[in-house]
Structure 1
Amino acid sequence: MEGLYNFLTSLDGMLGGAPWFPFVLLGVGLFFTVYLKFPQIRFFKHAWLVVTGKYDKDGEEGDTTHFRALTTALSGTVGTGNISGVAFAIFLGGPAALFWMWATAFLGMTTKFVEVTLSHKYRVKTEDGTMAGGPMYYMDRRLNMKWLAVAFAIATVVSSFGTGNLPQSNGIAQSIEATFGFDPLVVGSVLGILLALVILGGIQRIAAFTSKIVPIMAVIYLIGALAVIFANAENIGPSFAAVIGDAFSGSAAAGGFLGASLAYAFNRGVNRGLFSNEAGQGSAPIAHAAARTSEPASEGMVSLLEPFIDTILICTVTGLVILSSGVWKEKHQNVFDRSDMYFVQGVYADDNPADKEALYKYLNDIEDSGVENYTGPISVVNGTAVSEGFTLINARSIAEDVNYSLGDEDAYTGTLQIKDGKPVKANLEVSGKSLVHSAALTTIAFTRGYFGSFGQYIVSIGLMLFAFSTAIAWSYYGDRAMTYLLGPRSVMPYRVIYVAGFVWASFSDTTLVWALSAVAIVVMTLPNLFGIVMLSKEMKQTVDEYWTRVRDDK
């Protein structure tokens, strides 16, 4: 697993983690925002009217309403990205990461408008009478790039696991285990059965389910979040100031948080923003293709609401909960993930400015940090290291009160071999105090409000509903891609594997799952961004023609 993680991390470094990727993603959004004259602002009110059905006409083809298409697509985006993803972005990049999530969402509103409009325009009716659409159809039918369409469809199937399945299941199981103590395998198995029951019903059952569950889960989550924010009202202003003030300088060290460079905060904020709202990824167009309308642009306008709701509203609320409560810079007792741990040579303290500066450079991949990975033996007595000359870094912070155990033993005694910063023993368990991230960080933050410790249950329930609905939506994206690739007969085997993967991910390594999702997102995004840029002139013409018909109908 460690080898696979290292491979995925290296691949992510060349793709989503590469310096060029955020600029490509934001660049496409900026281009269309200017080219279409800020549609996320000009068409915002009209989009809400379309959702209400004001412009619906009898006899139009489609499988579901505008509202249900919107909630299905939202259920695909409102998931662990809003709970775990925001926490992960702040953990990596500090408050500045939230600003870049906002920027990604604002420009992403236009990107999603474009990709949904074009995909809806070239949708098809399948053999069973249902609608099928998505970027693969405009790539095939309009661009005549069958190879690109196939590449995108394959990436969609992979991403259905990396984005919509594995991290969602893992996030649910992690939160439920931390809150209620239930075995992750049991949680995954029970929800896996429920997942199978829903997705077997196709888009009709999926849309009916999501149209009910999305509003409910949003209300539950917002109530719990506001209880934390108002309880820490004095920190709201400073939190916003930190988000905006650090946006172009990076986030400074604070408490156990050792700081993040501008480049790191920018990259991780954009990356997590994409994971949250999926603008440019090409996933939402698949859900919107099922909407009953003969006007592709109208459905595109409905879709521009998604990044606003998902990121600018819900992610901001989560970010304020984490920042105002202060938990993001505090060390908490936890069991360390092997992939998060690094033993470095020398003794460092986070109350020493020189040490913090050196570790800041080390963690942000800045040259000349002077920090080197430790290689050598460590003597441990009753779970405590008695050797000197090294420091354990876990979750980008200096670990404290560290305990080592092996197998069923509570405390290990003996010699541990460390090679290039990592322990050689595969079954070694290390625990102690450090920063935490993902769902665990958000869960702790929710206990710092008016509901006290009860707040953790709101996160667990919210995460379960968010993530489960995301897995449902992504199963539809994947089966539409399989329909394009191999025909309707391939859908059932795909669904079986999809459910099995959901169960497996409930007890797999957290960091490995996040690494897989990071790679899958980019592999799916790049062909879609290329395709919509190629059709920019047609997009503008389609929008202009739509407004001409709207004016004529008045």
Structure 2
Amino acid sequence: MDIMAIVNQINSILWGPVMLFLLVGTGVIFTYKLRFIQIRKLKIAWDQTFGGLFKKSDKADADGMSSFQALTTAIAAQVGTGNLAGVATAVAMGGPGAIFWMWISGFFGMGTIFAEAVLAQLHTERVDGEITGGPAYYIKKGLGSKFLAGFFAVSIILALGFMGNMVQSSSIAESVLVAFNIPKIVTGFIVALLVGLIVMGGIGRIASFTERVVPIMAAFYILGSLIIVLMNYDMILPSLRMIVVGAFNPMAATGGIIGASIKEAFRYGIARGLFSNEAGMGSTPHAHAVAKVKHPAEQGLVAIMGVVIDTGIVCTLTALVILNTGAFSSGLFGAQLTQEGFIRGFGGFGSTFVAICLFFFALSTIIGWYYFGESNIKFLFGKKGINWYRIIVLVCIVVGTTMSAEIVWELADTFNGLMVIPNLVALLGLASFVVKVVNDYEENFTKDKPSTYQNS
């Protein structure tokens, strides 16, 4: 049995019905307990996120970063190859219906990611003078389990810092090869060099990079996608029909072009949805933990907007480009399938467009994931382990460009599944605490009354 078969077998168990039920179920529980906060507070979430967009933000330092910088750092991790190659993989393996399940996971994931951000805000520590937080900290301090905290920390370092960044470099190298005929290994070294220059500057340079690059790259991709979708406006409704019908009858949605089953549509939709918006995975709380806000619930609302942007807008547009242009029937996989959609829309420039977007998406994701892993290196070893961690991450970036996309994606799914488990245990165990924080926010903080959880 080869390594691909072994990894597939592990993932069939790890990402089986139990895991998917727990993942979506956690979102359902928080959505219910928080009384559909992603709907009730959507306008407030928008205002909290973008209200001060054009105001001069504080520089990130040992005390943390601004709320918007925390969001862009989180989105840097969320908006990456999962939005381009990941969505394409979901369509190729699960049919158009996978997008429907991606939407479902995203909607309920808003409840989960809100809870993650709130708990991260409330359980921070100073490690060698720098404010740090994330699931390992709320698992240890809130849940009281050092073992699960350590298990999570090791899992996320492997999942994102190492294997996840191999996914990013693999996808970007493939797209650059197709667009510019640059050898993959050369691209790997270039990306590693850029990442090294950024992360050596610490939290200040990381926050400054994401704050400037993320909004521009997202706007550029969204505009390009919208142009192609509108150019093929007559296919918008048929594409949406394929997504909805395909969620329950994949063969009927595509006329048998993609031989997917409901199980495959569900599995790949949920798995790629998680890989894209990261709700419940325990990654983005590392950024939200260090946001300078007056009340933890404020950053929870900002976190909700991260899922709206990632899954609701960027992933949906990618899917519509692939479906509207008919690229889904090309038999291609991953980033190449997305490129095919843009080539059919923009001609030869389409390949270049995706390569440019993927380069910045993947670069920003690597930066975000590097930061998340570093937070857990601090949890395990303090700042003394950071230099070794940086070296290994840069090596993984280069090595990832030499591996096939399929095996890297499957390995990433494996490690993602492992890190989800302790995070979900903590979220469910601390659910009542999150409810108390939200009640305090609505009953006291928003009415200028004494608030239990208000930050000084």
Same topology, TM > 0.5: yes
Asked if 1:23 corresponds to 2:52, the answer is no
Question: Could you tell me how far apart the structure 1 residues matched to 2:100 and 2:251 are?
Answer: 11
Question: Could you tell me how far apart the structure 1 residues matched to 2:163 and 2:290 are?
Answer: 21
1:291 maps to: 291
Q: Deviations over 1:41-79 (max 9, x none)?
A: 112111222224669999x99321111100000000100
1:269 maps to: 269
Task: Please identify, of 6-15 and 71-80, the stretch whose mean Cα deviation from structure 2 is larger.
Answer: 6-15
1:114 and 1:300 in contact (8 A); partners too: yes
Q: Unpaired segments of 5 or more residues in structure 1?
A: 331-434
The alignment of Structure 1 onto Structure 2 pairs a total of residues equal to: 445
Deviation at 1:245, TM superposition (A): 2.0
**Residue 167 to residue 256, structure 1, CA distance change in 2 (3 Å):** farther
Deviation at 1:157, TM superposition (A): 0.4
> What one-letter code is carried by the residue in structure 2 that aligns with 1:30?
V
Deviation at 1:6, TM superposition (A): 2.3
> What one-letter code is carried by the residue in structure 1 that aligns with 2:404?
D
Asked if 1:6 corresponds to 2:2, the answer is no
**Residue 46 to residue 62, structure 1, CA distance change in 2 (3 Å):** farther
1:399 maps to: none
1:504 maps to: 399
> What one-letter code is carried by the residue in structure 1 that aligns with 2:19?
F
Where do 1:207-246 residues align within 5 Å?
A: 207-246=207-246
2:332 maps to: 436
Question: Could you tell me how far apart the structure 2 residues matched to 1:146 and 1:25 are?
Answer: 22
**Residue 61 to residue 299, structure 1, CA distance change in 2 (3 Å):** farther
1:116 and 1:299 in contact (8 A); partners too: yes
Deviation at 1:251, TM superposition (A): 3.9
Deviation at 1:256, TM superposition (A): 7.6
Where do 1:9-158 residues align within 5 Å?
A: 9-16=8-15, 18-52=16-50, 62-127=63-128, 129-158=129-158
2:101 and 2:247 in contact (8 A); partners too: yes
1:15 and 1:21 in contact (8 A); partners too: yes
1:538 maps to: 433
1:133 and 1:286 in contact (8 A); partners too: yes
Deviation at 1:253, TM superposition (A): 7.2
Deviation at 1:131, TM superposition (A): 1.2
1:514 maps to: 409
1:61 and 1:293 in contact (8 A); partners too: no
Question: Could you tell me how far apart the structure 2 residues matched to 1:439 and 1:54 are?
Answer: 35
Asked if 1:459 corresponds to 2:393, the answer is no
2:3 match: secondary structure: helix
Report the TM-score, using the length of structure 1 for normalisation. 0.77
2:162 and 2:393 in contact (8 A); partners too: no
Report the TM-score, using the length of structure 2 for normalisation. 0.94
Deviation at 1:187, TM superposition (A): 0.6
> What one-letter code is carried by the residue in structure 2 that aligns with 1:532?
L
Where do 1:377-392 residues align within 5 Å?
A: none
Deviation at 1:19, TM superposition (A): 2.2
1:160 match: secondary structure: helix
Q: Deviations over 1:304-359 (max 9, x none)?
A: 111110001100000000001111113xxxxxxxxxxxxxxxxxxxxxxxxxxxxx
1:436 match: secondary structure: coil
Question: Could you tell me how far apart the structure 2 residues matched to 1:137 and 1:223 are?
Answer: 39
Which of these two proteins has the greater Rg computed from alpha carbons?
Answer: 1
Question: Could you tell me how far apart the structure 2 residues matched to 1:77 and 1:294 are?
Answer: 25
Question: Could you tell me how far apart the structure 2 residues matched to 1:493 and 1:158 are?
Answer: 14
2:139 and 2:148 in contact (8 A); partners too: yes
Structure with greater proportional strand content: 1
Deviation at 1:223, TM superposition (A): 2.4
Q: Unpaired segments of 5 or more residues in structure 2?
A: 451-456
Deviation at 1:205, TM superposition (A): 0.7
1:523 maps to: 418
Q: Deviations over 1:79-121 (max 9, x none)?
A: 0000000000000111111100000100011100001101110
Q: Deviations over 1:140-172 (max 9, x none)?
A: 112110001001101110112456401100000
Deviation at 1:515, TM superposition (A): 1.0
1:61 and 1:292 in contact (8 A); partners too: no
Question: Could you tell me how far apart the structure 2 residues matched to 1:231 and 1:294 are?
Answer: 45
Question: Could you tell me how far apart the structure 1 residues matched to 2:214 and 2:264 are?
Answer: 33
Task: Please identify, of 467-476 and 60-69, the stretch whose mean Cα deviation from structure 2 is larger.
Answer: 60-69
2:245 and 2:252 in contact (8 A); partners too: no
Question: Could you tell me how far apart the structure 2 residues matched to 1:111 and 1:540 are?
Answer: 12
RMSD: 2.1
Task: Please identify, of 264-273 and 214-223, the stretch whose mean Cα deviation from structure 2 is larger.
Answer: 214-223
Deviation at 1:224, TM superposition (A): 2.0
Deviation at 1:3, TM superposition (A): 2.8
1:277 and 1:310 in contact (8 A); partners too: yes
Question: Could you tell me how far apart the structure 2 residues matched to 1:52 and 1:163 are?
Answer: 33
Structure with greater proportional helix content: 2
Task: Please identify, of 42-51 and 236-245, the stretch whose mean Cα deviation from structure 2 is larger.
Answer: 42-51
1:185 maps to: 185
2:69 match: secondary structure: helix
**Relative contact order: is structure 1 or structure 2 higher (C-alpha 8 Å, sep ≥ 6)?**
2
Question: Could you tell me how far apart the structure 2 residues matched to 1:33 and 1:91 are?
Answer: 30
> What one-letter code is carried by the residue in structure 2 that aligns with 1:210?
T
Deviation at 1:138, TM superposition (A): 1.0
